[in-house]
């Protein structure tokens, strides 16, 4: 055995020790060999006069007193008969590893094998870095991060969709309210006829006022619904469809240029009013104008669009309806019951507080229709 | 010499070797009494233990183009060595006792048993 072989065997047997300590031990033994050679021995003689690497390692480990430390497997070149005879209390991990090979505990991929090795070894900083970087925990964290991102995206999308549906529902409600107002006009007019039939003129006046208010107001509500629908569609087109289109900004600009005159006209149409003398409306002006419409604004609308006159008439009808209802109320001697349409009490029918002696004679009443059908 | 008995004298022998001046591993082994059977595997742990106790100190110096580690006695090591020498009489007394006791026992043992043991 030469010096290098001695060094490699001793180094291999002491691999369980910290690197600095191992190097110090090996250098001590190398120094002794070198001193022997300086004294005139040949290299082989010098090495032969030393204790074997196994004995040296045994003594060093026993002295270290690290009961749980152990020798790592020797290199293939190490003579197994030269392995140290470990003292009691020092674990021969090599022997343990031989025993574990069959049980699979030493499998590097096995968690048991890994932790067993981790307990008996000190990792270098580089090994720690490698352990952390290659930890399967990162995959778990990545999956969790992706899941969180997905949940966030889906949540935002769900909220956006819910708001979108709510907006359309409100618009639909506006259409329904306006439509219901207009559709109910004939029904209210029938009540007015019934009032005349039973001689309750104030009741008829009030119901005629109702019908005028319902028609005028209903038409304005429908107009507002149309304006809101257009405004929402325009916002949707500009804020959602255009921004996400593949053509991007160019398409948006084209759309703006193409829609600009129409948009202004539509706003005029919807509102029938203008907040300023230049005729330019902002988004939502139609709705605001509905609530705060003025006669001056109506006159501008009448000049600009033919059908604006219709809405002006509707506006006047609504006002006239209010006046008509008030006149009916005054004519009744301020009897609030004229505002009631009809009610039944103890088998009798009342219209505007007045009992109806012959309900079957009322125009288009259920009795009337039945008799009409039978005749 | 019995290993346990030897162990008690090793520290004192190494300290005594260094009392003559600083020395290095192989030189210490050569200077030690052959009866102690000192080798590197015995000396290195011993030197480490003495060094950790502060009884000796080490320095590295170049020799023939390589580094050699020299060990020398500290003041604390010198005191420890003196203490050991102070106990010389006690050690001698123990040896004398063992010698006399063993001799007396051998002379008083029955002949049959002595023959058995022989």
Contacts of B66 in chain A (CB under 8 A): 31, 34
- Are B44 and A60 in contact (CB < 8 Å)? yes
Q: HSE-up of A51 (CA within 13 Å, CB side)?
A: 24
Same-domain status, B21 and B44? yes
Question: What's the pLDDT at B32?
Answer: 87
Mean pLDDT over each residue of chain A, to the nearest integer:
75
Q: What is the CATH number of the domain that holds B58?
A: 1.10.10.10
A39-56 confidence digits (pLDDT tens): 888 888 889 888 888 888
Place of tokens 């020395």: B23
Q: The tokens of A91 are what?
A: 């674990």
B28-82 confidence digits (pLDDT tens): 998 888 888 888 888 888 898 899 899 999 999 888 888 899 999 999 999 999 9
Question: What's the pLDDT at A165?
Answer: 95
Distances (CA, A) of A274 to A188, A213, A222, A288, A302: 33, 24, 18, 10, 11
Average pLDDT over residues A190-201: 87
Rg (CA), chain A: 50
Same-domain status, B56 and B109? no
pLDDT at position A282 over 70: no
CB distance B42 to B10 below 8 Å: yes
Contacts of A27 in chain B (CB under 8 A): 67, 69
Q: Residue A19: exposed, middle, or buried by beta-carbon count in 10 A (0-12, 13-18, 19+)? A: exposed
Same-domain status, B74 and B93? no
Complete DSSP assignment for A85-137: -PPTTS--HHHHHHHHHHHTTT-TTSHHHHHHHHHH----HHHHHHHHHT-TH
- Are A58 and B44 in contact (CB < 8 Å)? no
Question: What's the pLDDT at A71?
Answer: 41
Question: What's the pLDDT at A195?
Answer: 87
CB count within 10 Å of CB A362 equals 21
**Measured between CA atoms, how close is A52 to chain B, in angstroms?**
9
- Answer with the residue of higher pLDDT: A122 or A295: A122
A12-25 confidence digits (pLDDT tens): 888 888 888 888 88
pLDDT at position A296 over 90: no
pLDDT at position A119 over 70: no
pLDDT at position A266 over 50: no
- Which of the residue ranges A212-221, A274-283, A328-337, A366-375 would you say has the lowest mean pLDDT? A274-283
A120-176 confidence digits (pLDDT tens): 667 788 888 888 888 888 999 999 999 999 999 999 999 999 999 999 999 999 999
pLDDT at position A317 over 90: yes
Same-domain status, B81 and B93? no
Q: How confident is the model at residue A352 (pLDDT cuts 50, 70, 90)?
A: confident
- Are A51 and B40 in contact (CB < 8 Å)? yes
As a whole-number percent, the residues of chain A with pLDDT over 90 amount to 26
Task: Domain count for chain B, please give it.
Answer: 2
Question: In this prediction, does ipTM exceed 0.85?
Answer: no
Same-domain status, B60 and B12? yes
CB distance A355 to A204 below 8 Å: no
Same-domain status, B69 and B46? yes
Question: What's the pLDDT at B11?
Answer: 87
Facing residue for A50 by CB, picked from B24, B40, B67: B40
CB distance A318 to A217 below 8 Å: yes
Strand order in the sheet with A354-356: A342-345, A348-351, A354-356
Same-domain status, B93 and B62? no
CB distance A79 to A21 below 8 Å: no
State which residues form the domain around B113.
88-118
Same-domain status, B29 and B72? yes
Average pLDDT over residues A312-319: 92
Find the residue in B nearest to A46 (Cα): B26
Question: Of the ranges A78-87, A320-329, B84-93, which is most confident?
Answer: A320-329
- Are A36 and B41 in contact (CB < 8 Å)? no
pLDDT at position A274 over 90: no
The contact set of B with A (CB < 8 A) is 24-27, 29, 39-42, 44-45, 48-49, 64, 66-69
Same-domain status, B74 and B96? no
Question: What's the pLDDT at A285?
Answer: 45
Taking CB atoms and an 8 Å cut-off, how many pairs form between chains A and B?
53
- Are B45 and A62 in contact (CB < 8 Å)? yes
Question: What's the pLDDT at A303?
Answer: 57
Among A57, A63, A87, the strongest candidate for a mutation testing the B interface, having the largest count of B CBs within 10 A, is: A63
Same-domain status, B68 and B103? no
Q: Residue A190: exposed, middle, or buried by beta-carbon count in 10 A (0-12, 13-18, 19+)? A: middle
Average pLDDT over residues A285-296: 46
CB count within 10 Å of CB A57 equals 29
Distance, CA of A20 to CA of B62 (rounded, Å): 20
Contacts of B48 in chain A (CB under 8 A): 63
What is this structure's pTM? 0.39
Same-domain status, B62 and B101? no
Same-domain status, B104 and B70? no
A70-105 confidence digits (pLDDT tens): 444 444 444 444 445 444 444 444 444 444 444 444
Rg (CA), chain B: 20
């Amino acid at each position: 055995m030469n010096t290098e072989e001695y060094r490699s065997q001793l180094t291999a047997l002491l691999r369980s020790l910290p690197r600095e300590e191992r190097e110090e031990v090996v250098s001590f033994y190398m120094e002794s060999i070198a001193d022997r050679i300086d004294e005139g021995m040949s290299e082989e003689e010098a090495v032969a006069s030393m204790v074997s690497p196994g004995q040296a390692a045994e003594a060093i480990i026993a002295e270290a007193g690290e009961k749980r430390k152990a020798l790592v497997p020797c290199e293939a070149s190490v003579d197994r008969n030269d392995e140290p005879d470990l003292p009691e209390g020092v674990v021969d991990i090599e022997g343990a590893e031989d025993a574990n090979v069959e049980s699979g505990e030493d499998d590097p991929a096995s968690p048991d094998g890994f932790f067993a090795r981790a307990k008996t070894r000190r990792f270098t900083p580089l090994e720690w870095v490698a352990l952390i970087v290659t930890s399967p925990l990162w995959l778990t964290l990545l999956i969790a991060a992706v899941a969180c991102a997905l949940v966030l995206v889906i949540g935002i999308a769900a909220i956006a969709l819910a708001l979108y549906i709510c907006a359309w529902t409100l618009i639909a409600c506006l259409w329904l309210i306006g439509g219901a107002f207009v559709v109910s006009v004939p029904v209210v007019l029938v009540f007015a006829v019934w009032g005349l039939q039973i001689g309750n003129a104030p009741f008829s006046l009030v119901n005629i006022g109702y019908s005028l208010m319902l028609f005028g107001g209903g038409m304005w509500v429908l107009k507002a619904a149309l304006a809101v629908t257009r405004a929402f569609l325009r916002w949707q087109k500009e804020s959602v469809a255009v921004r996400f289109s593949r053509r991007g900004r160019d398409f948006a600009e084209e759309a703006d240029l193409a829609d600009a005159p129409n948009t202004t006209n539509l706003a005029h149409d919807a509102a029938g009013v203008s907040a300023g003398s230049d005729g330019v409306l902002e988004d939502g002006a139609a709705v605001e104008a509905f609530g705060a419409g003025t006669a001056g604004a109506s006159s501008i609308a009448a000049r600009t669009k033919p059908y604006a006159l219709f809405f002006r008439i509707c506006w006047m009808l609504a006002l006239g309806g209010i006046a008509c209802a008030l006149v009916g109320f005054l004519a009744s001697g301020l009897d609030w019951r004229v505002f009631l349409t009809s009610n039944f009490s103890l088998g009798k029918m009342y219209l505007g507080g007045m009992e109806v002696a012959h309900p079957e004679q009322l125009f288009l009443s259920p009795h009337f229709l039945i008799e009409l059908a039978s005749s | 010499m019995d290993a346990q008995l030897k162990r008690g004298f090793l520290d004192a022998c190494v300290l005594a070797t260094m009392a003559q001046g600083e020395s290095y591993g192989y030189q210490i082994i050569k200077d030690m009494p052959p009866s102690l059977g000192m080798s590197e595997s015995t000396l290195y742990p011993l030197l480490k233990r003495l060094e950790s106790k502060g009884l000796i100190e080490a320095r590295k110096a170049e020799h023939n183009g390589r580094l050699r580690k020299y060990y020398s006695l500290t003041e604390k090591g010198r005191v420890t060595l003196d203490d050991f020498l102070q106990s010389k009489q006690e050690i001698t007394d123990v040896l004398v006792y063992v010698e006399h006791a063993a001799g007396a026992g051998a002379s008083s043992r029955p002949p049959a048993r002595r023959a058995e043991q022989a």
